[in-house]
Amino acid sequence: PRPRDWPDWYAMTGYWFLPRPIDWSPPDELVRFLDAGEPPICFSFSSMSDERGDDLTHSVLAALRQIDRRGIIVTAWGGLRSVESTDRVHVIDHAPFDWLLPQCAAVVHHGGAGSTSAGLRAGVPSLIVSFFADQPFWGRRVYELGCGPKPIARQQLTIDRLATALDRVVRDRALIDRAAEIGRVIQSEDGLAQASAFIERTLASHG
């Protein structure tokens, strides 16, 4: 919602999303994995470089085994360590979220503004494991919207807590339906067009 103390000339445009690179195509191995079974849970901690990355990766793998779900690990900048792909877990270094996330059952991420917006737009439930800065705020916001369970602080993450939260994001019908609803709203917005129109109106009025 719009903050009540904002002046009228503050514009809320909706998210600004970058277009997918036109020369990108999904690796064959990733496509085969997605086609081979139920939608997986995606894990990505993006730019979070965790000195306990091995421990975090172990927790992810153990939690997936505990609830018997498939997963995709996006290693990105090292928040999750690269491990060997299996028939239950596929490991990649990157994939555009606007392509990948709608094909997943849920996404687990650190709660950065960009990852949060991508998860919401995809219309799938999000579980946020926050590290610092604005991430706890976005975790609470996703929870308040009904698009994910309560966020988990990184330092409080355990295998059992992660497994319990994962089981909920793939089974809780209310979360799944609400995430899909919010996704449709965001997909209907065009933040860049709204921002451009606002800037043009403002410039014209100051002619």
What does pLDDT average to over the chain? 91
Q: If phi over 0 gives left and psi between -120 and 50 gives alpha, with beta otherwise, what is residue 158?
A: beta
**Position 52 pLDDT exceeds 80:** no
| Largest distance between two CA atoms of the chain | 63
All domains in the chain, ordered by first residue: 28-205 (3.40.50.2000)
Sheet containing strand 152-153, strands side by side:
89-92, 71-74, 41-44, 106-109, 126-130, 152-153
Strand pairing partners for 128? Answer: 109
In whole angstroms, give the CA distance from residue 81 to residue 12.
38
Quick check: pTM over 0.75?
Answer: yes
Q: What's the average model confidence in pLDDT over 84-99?
A: 93
Residue with more model confidence, 49 or 196: 196
Q: What is the dihedral of CA 99, 135, 82, 100, to 10 degrees?
A: -10
**Position 122 pLDDT exceeds 70:** yes
Select from 60, 20, 62 the least CA-distant residue to 41: 60
In whole angstroms, give the CA distance from residue 103 to residue 68.
18
pLDDT at 51: 63
pLDDT at 156: 95
pLDDT at 101: 98
* Digit-coded pLDDT (tens) for 161-187: 999 999 999 999 999 999 999 999 999
**Position 35 pLDDT exceeds 80:** yes
pLDDT at 121: 97
pLDDT at 190: 87
In whole angstroms, give the CA distance from residue 33 to residue 85.
10
